[in-house]
C-alpha cells in the first residue's frame, strides 16, 4: 500500500507557496541563504533560481549572488506531487499522541527524512504504518524539525498541514524549549558555559559546519555539567537556535566534542558507534489547545552505559 508524504523540507509558505523575506545577513550566497531560511535542499534552490522562480529587486539572480543585508527576496516554490512511500512495520516508541500530533522517541541510526538514497527504513515509513493502524491513513503527516541520523530522542510529527504550519511557526519564533544531553570529550572545567556565533559551511570541508567570521547564521547554546566522568563529561545543552549540526559544532568549538562524533570529534571518535547526543526534552504550545506541553524521552541505553562505565 502506498501513501502520500508531504515534503519535510519546506516551511509553510502559504497556500500559493509564495514567499517574501528581507535578508538579515551579509555576504552569503543566495542559494546557501535560501536553503537555510526555507529548509529546502540547496540543489532545489539552485533549480528554482535557474527556472526563474527567485527574484531580487525584480531581477533573477545567479546562484552565486551574494546576499546583502535588508535586500528583499521574493519567489515561489511550485507545488510538486507528494512522494509515494510504503508504510513499513518498524517499531516506534510513542511518547505522546492525540488527533493532530505525534511525538516519538527516535532510535539511533534511523534516518528521519526520505530521500533518493533512503526511501525505506526511515522514520517516515514507520509513521505511515502507525497512522494506518490508527485509521489516519488519509492524512499527510509532516516532520516539524530535524534530528541527525545518529541522534536519539524526542521528535515531533504533525498529522496534518495546519498543525505542521503552527508548530513550524513556534520553531521559527524560538518559543520551543529544547533540552539535549550529551557525553563530551575531556573534563569540562566550569559548571556552565555558553557558545554563540555565526554558523556556516566549513571553508575546506563541505560536509562540516563551523563558526565563521561572516556569511553564517547566528547560533546560541547554553550548557551545564551534569556529571564529570573519567576523561569525559556528561552535559545538558539548551540550544536557543536550530542551525545544522549546532550542538556538535558548539561543543567542538568549546574544546569538548561529542564522543563518537566522527565529523567533529578528536581522540574518542571510535569509542561509540554514533555521536552520543540525545534530544531529552521538548516544551511547546499545543497547536490546537494552546496548552504548554513538556515531553521527555529517557536517555538512550548506549549513553547510560557509557556514563556508568566511565564514572569516577
pLDDT above 70 for 36: yes
Q: Do 106 and 189 fall within a single domain? A: no
Q: Give dist(CA 79, CA 166) in Å, integer.
A: 20
Structural domain tally of the chain?
3
Question: Hey, is 252 helix, strand or coil?
Answer: helix
Q: What is the pLDDT of residue 244?
A: 87
From 29, 54, 76, give the residue that closes a domain: 76
Residue 108: phi and psi, rounded to 5, are -70, 155
| Known catalytic membership, residue 210 | no
Is the CB of residue 239 less than 8 Å from the CB of residue 251?
Answer: no
Domain membership of residue 251 as a residue range? 179-279+305-309
The domain that contains 186 carries what CATH number?
3.30.2350.10
Q: Is residue 12 part of a domain?
A: no
The more confident residue out of 4 and 58 is 58
Q: Do 189 and 271 fall within a single domain? A: yes
Write out pLDDT tens, residues 80-121. 545 567 888 999 999 999 999 999 999 999 988 776 566 788
Q: Give dist(CA 137, CA 66) in Å, integer.
A: 44
Q: Do 229 and 271 fall within a single domain? A: yes
Q: What is the pLDDT of residue 16?
A: 44
The C-alpha cell of 141 is what?
503527516
Q: Is residue 286 part of a domain?
A: no
Q: Do 150 and 194 fall within a single domain? A: no
From 152, 172, 192, give the residue that closes a domain: 172
Among 109, 95, 148, 145, smallest CA distance to 302 is for 109
Kind and range of the H or E element at 212? strand 209-212
Write out pLDDT tens, residues 191-207. 999 999 999 888 778 78
**Which CA distances in Å does 14 have to 17, 18, 61, 311?**
5, 6, 23, 51
The domain that contains 67 carries what CATH number?
3.10.290.10
Given the residues 105, 148, 210, 261, select the one marked as catalytic: 148
From 41, 76, 111, give the residue that closes a domain: 76
Amino acid at each position: 500500500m502506498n501513501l502520500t508524504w508531504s515534503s519535510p523540507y519546506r516551511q509553510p509558505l502559504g497556500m500559493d507557496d509564495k514567499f517574501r523575506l528581507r535578508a538579515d545577513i551579509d555576504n552569503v550566497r543566495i542559494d546557501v541563504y535560501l536553503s537555510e531560511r526555507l529548509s529546502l535542499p540547496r540543489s532545489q534552490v539552485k533549480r528554482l533560481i535557474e527556472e526563474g522562480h527567485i527574484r531580487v529587486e525584480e531581477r533573477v539572480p545567479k546562484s552565486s549572488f551574494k546576499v546583502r543585508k535588508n535586500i528583499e527576496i521574493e519567489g515561489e516554490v511550485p507545488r510538486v506531487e507528494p512522494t509515494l512511500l510504503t508504510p513499513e512495520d518498524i517499531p516506534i516508541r510513542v511518547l505522546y499522541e492525540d488527533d493532530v500530533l505525534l511525538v516519538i522517541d527516535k532510535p539511533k541510526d534511523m534516518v528521519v527524512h526520505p530521500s533518493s538514497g533512503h526511501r525505506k527504513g526511515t522514520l517516515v515509513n514507520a509513521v505511515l504504518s502507525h497512522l494506518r493502524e490508527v485509521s489516519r491513513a488519509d492524512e499527510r503527516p509532516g516532520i516539524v524539525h530535524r534530528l541527525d541520523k545518529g541522534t536519539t530522542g524526542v521528535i515531533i510529527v504533525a498529522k496534518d498541514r495546519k498543525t505542521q504550519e503552527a508548530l513550524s511557526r513556534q520553531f521559527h519564533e524560538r518559543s520551543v524549549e529544547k533540552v539535549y544531553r550529551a557525553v563530551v570529550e575531556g573534563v569540562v572545567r566550569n559548571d556552565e558555559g555558553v557558545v554563540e556565533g555565526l554558523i556556516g559551511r566549513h571553508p575546506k570541508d563541505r560536509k562540516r559546519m563551523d563558526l565563521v567570521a561572516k556569511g553564517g547564521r547566528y547560533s546560541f547554546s547554553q550548557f551545564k555539567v551534569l556529571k564529570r566522568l573519567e576523561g569525559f563529561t556528561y552535559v545538558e545543552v539548551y540550544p536557543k537556535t536550530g542551525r545544522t549540526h549546532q550542538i556538535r559544532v558548539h561543543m567542538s568549538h568549546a574544546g569538548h566534542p561529542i564522543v563518537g562524533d566522527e565529523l567533529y570529534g578528536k581522540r574518542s571518535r571510535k569509542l561509540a558507534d554514533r555521536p552520543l547526543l540525545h534530544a531529552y526534552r521538548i516544551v511547546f504550545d499545543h497547536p490546537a489547545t494552546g496548552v504548554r506541553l513538556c515531553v521527555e524521552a529517557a536517555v538512550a541505553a548506549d549513553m547510560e552505559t557509557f556514563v556508568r562505565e566511565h564514572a569516577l
